[in-house]
Chains A and B, each alone.
Chain A
C-alpha cells in the first residue's frame, strides 16, 4: 500500500531537552515513530507528554536536541513549518467550521476549481469536491454521513472522525506523514470511540505514522503498537504494547516502577 521506506522513522526526535526558565520540562528524550506505526504516549499529568507533542507539532522549540523527518534534519519555527514537513496535529475543538458541511470542511484550503473561464474566476467544482471527500472518507472507511451535512449536526464521534480525517487527508500523499492526536476519544461514547479507533488503525495501515497522547489505557490496547511512557519529563519506558503487562505500564506512569533506562533515572 505504501511506497515509504519502512526502515527510516517517519519522525525521529533525539536528545530533546526543553527548559521553561529553571523548569526542565523535557530531559533528554529520544522518541521515534515509524511509518504505519501507532505509538501511544503515556504519562501522568505534568509528565511532559503534551509538551513533547507540542515540540513535534512545532508549537514549542526544544532547547536542545534534533528532529528528523524521514531521516532529514529539520527545525520547526512554527506549526506551519511542521505541517509543511507533513506533520499534522489534530485539534479537537478548533478543527471544524460548524456551519459548513463535511465536504467544505474536508476541502477548505485545497478546493477544486471548475475547468475553463469560470475556474479562472475562482468558481469551485462542488460536485468534484464532494466526490473527492467521499472517496477519501471511503478510503479511511468512515463514511458516516452525507457530505452535505453541516458538521454541527454530527454526533461527537462523527465530528471527531471528520476532524481526524481532515488532518489524515493532508498528510497522506506520496510521502506519508505523521499525525499527532491529543486524547482523540475523550468525551466520546462507546460506539463512537470504536469508530475513531477503527479510523486510527486504518490510517496506520495506509502507512501514516501516528502519535497518540492519552490517559486512556484501553485505547492504547486497541490501537497502539508501542507505548512510550514519560514521568516528570523523562522517558521511563518504551515497550511494545503486545506482551507488556498493563500493571507494569501503570507502574511506569505513576513512577512506582523504576525506569527502563537506568542511566536517565539516576
Chain B
C-alpha cells in the first residue's frame, strides 16, 4: 500500500490487492486481557451479586438461601427497581430526571382522588395515571430542550408536582384504595405482584433498548446526540422520549407504592431517587449517557435489597446496610476507573494490531 502512486489508472490496483490480502479479524484479535477487562466491566455486577448471595448463604444459613427469603428480597427490591428503571433509562439517553418522586406522588394521588372521591373505575384511573406520567415527561422534556439544565428543570417540576399532589388530596393521604391490592400485596403462584411488574418492565425495556430501532437510536442519542443528528435523525425527539419513559416508570412506581399501602400519599419521598441512582451507578450506567444495560440496573437494585436482607437476618443494625452500599458504590467507581485505564493502555499498546496483521 505504500507504493507511490503514479497515475489514476494504476491507482486502483495496489489498493484492491491489499484488500484481497486483508486478513479479516474474527473478533479474537482483541488482546485477551482487554476482553477479560471488558467482561469484568460488563458482567462484574452479576459476579458481585452471586458472591454476595454465596457469602450470605453461609453466613446467614439456614435462613437466607430459601425461596421465601428470595421472594422477600425481590419484593423489597421491586420499588427501587421500578424507579431505577426510570432513572437508568433516562440517564442512558443523557437525561437525569429528579422529578420522579414528584411524578410518582402526583400520579398516585390523581388515581386515588379519581377512584375514591370521584368514583372512577380503577381500570380508567390507572391508565390516566400512566398517561399523566408520560405527559409530565413531555413537559420536562420540552422545557429542557430550551437549553436549560435538566437537573434544575426537574428539581423545579419536582417541587411543582409535590405541591400539586397535596393540592389534589388537600394535604392528606387518600386511604381505602383496597382495589389496588391486586398489584400490591397479592401473590400469584407465591410471587408478589410487584415482582411481576418489575419483570415485565425490565423485559420490555431491555427488548426495546437492544432490539428495536427506536431503542438503539435512543441509546445512541445519549452517547453522541450530534452524531445521531447528523445522520438525519431528530435527536431532540429521543431526548423528550427519555423524559417520557422516566415519567411512565415513575407513575408505575407511584402506583405500586400506593397499592402496597392501599393509600395514596402526597408526600414525595426524594430518598427513593437516591436508592434508584445508587442501583443505576452500581450497574455502571455512565452518567454522561449512552452506556448501560437494564439487566445490570435490575441486579443493582437486587444487590441493595440483598445486602439489607442479609444483614437483617444476622441481626446487624440496618444502618450498616447503607454504609456497605456506599462503600460498594465508591469501590465500583474505583474499579471502573481502573478498568477504563487498563483497557485504554492495552489498546494503545496494540493500536496498530489489526493494521499490521495484514503484513504478517
Is A28's CB within 8 Å of the partner chain B?
A: no
A155 touches B352 (CB 8 A): yes
Give which listed residue, B1, B220, B233, contacts A100 with CB less than 8 A.
B220
Is B317's CB within 8 Å of the partner chain A?
A: no
Is A113's CB within 8 Å of the partner chain B?
A: yes
Give which listed residue, B25, B213, B233, contacts A113 with CB less than 8 A.
B213
> When A and B form their complex, which 10 residue pairs have the shortest distance between CB atoms, in order from nearest?
A141-B19, A109-B231, A155-B351, A146-B27, A97-B223, A122-B212, A97-B224, A205-B12, A191-B355, A97-B220
A122 touches B214 (CB 8 A): yes
A98 touches B347 (CB 8 A): no
For B233, give the chain A residue with the smallest CB separation.
A109
Within residues 224 to 281 of chain B, which ones have a CB less than 8 A from any CB in chain A?
A: 224, 226-228, 230-233
A141 touches B7 (CB 8 A): no
Which bucket holds chain B's interface residue count? 35 or more
A97 touches B227 (CB 8 A): yes
Other contacts beyond A141-B22, A157-B352, A198-B15: 9, CB < 8 A = A109-B228, A111-B216, A113-B213, A143-B24, A153-B343, A155-B347, A195-B1, A198-B1, A204-B11
Pairs across A and B, CB under 8 Å, 12 listed? A96-B227, A99-B291, A100-B216, A100-B223, A123-B213, A144-B25, A149-B27, A158-B355, A191-B355, A194-B2, A201-B5, A202-B15
Indicate with 1 or 0, residue by residue over B12-32, a CB within 8 angstroms of chain A CB atoms. 100110110010111101100
For B228, give the chain A residue with the smallest CB separation.
A108
Is B117's CB within 8 Å of the partner chain A?
A: no
Is A73's CB within 8 Å of the partner chain B?
A: no
In the bound complex, residues from chain B placing their C-beta under 8 Å from that of A197 are 1
In the bound complex, residues from chain A placing their C-beta under 8 Å from that of B2 are 194
The dominant DSSP class at the B interface is helix
Separation of A69 and B234 alpha carbons in the complex (Å) = 26
In the bound complex, residues from chain A placing their C-beta under 8 Å from that of B159 are none
Is A242's CB within 8 Å of the partner chain B?
A: yes
Is B34's CB within 8 Å of the partner chain A?
A: yes
In the bound complex, residues from chain A placing their C-beta under 8 Å from that of B231 are 108-110
Is A246's CB within 8 Å of the partner chain B?
A: no
Is B66's CB within 8 Å of the partner chain A?
A: no
Is B6's CB within 8 Å of the partner chain A?
A: yes
In the bound complex, residues from chain B placing their C-beta under 8 Å from that of A221 are 4
A148-B27, A205-B11 known; A121+B224 contact, CB < 8 A:
no
B211 touches A109 (CB 8 A): no
Is A50's CB within 8 Å of the partner chain B?
A: no
In the bound complex, residues from chain A placing their C-beta under 8 Å from that of B26 are 146
B30 touches A153 (CB 8 A): yes
Question: From residue A4, how far is it (CB to closest CB) to chain B in Å?
Answer: 16
Separation of A157 and B22 alpha carbons in the complex (Å) = 16
B227 touches A95 (CB 8 A): yes
In the bound complex, residues from chain A placing their C-beta under 8 Å from that of B347 are 153, 155
Indicate with 1 or 0, residue by residue over B64-94, a CB within 8 angstroms of chain A CB atoms. 0000000000000000000000000000000
In the bound complex, residues from chain A placing their C-beta under 8 Å from that of B27 are 146, 148-149
A99-B290, A123-B211, A145-B354 known; A104+B230 contact, CB < 8 A:
no
For A141, give the chain B residue with the smallest CB separation.
B19
Separation of A104 and B189 alpha carbons in the complex (Å) = 41
B15 touches A121 (CB 8 A): no
For A147, give the chain B residue with the smallest CB separation.
B27
A99 touches B15 (CB 8 A): no
Separation of A101 and B122 alpha carbons in the complex (Å) = 45
Give which listed residue, A105, A123, A204, contacts B212 with CB less than 8 A.
A123
Within residues 343 to 360 of chain B, which ones have a CB less than 8 A from any CB in chain A?
A: 343, 347, 351-356
Is A231's CB within 8 Å of the partner chain B?
A: no
B212 touches A109 (CB 8 A): no
Separation of A100 and B12 alpha carbons in the complex (Å) = 32
B213 touches A111 (CB 8 A): yes
For A138, give the chain B residue with the smallest CB separation.
B19
Give which listed residue, A121, A122, A156, A204, contacts B351 with CB less than 8 A.
A156
In the bound complex, residues from chain B placing their C-beta under 8 Å from that of A100 are 216, 219-220, 223, 290
In the bound complex, residues from chain B placing their C-beta under 8 Å from that of A110 are 231
Separation of A142 and B16 alpha carbons in the complex (Å) = 10
A97-B224, A98-B290, A205-B12 known; A144+B354 contact, CB < 8 A:
yes
B224 touches A191 (CB 8 A): no
B352 touches A189 (CB 8 A): yes
B8 touches A225 (CB 8 A): yes
Most buried by B among A94, A99, A204, A225: A99
Within residues 189 to 238 of chain B, which ones have a CB less than 8 A from any CB in chain A?
A: 211-214, 216-217, 219-220, 223-224, 226-228, 230-233
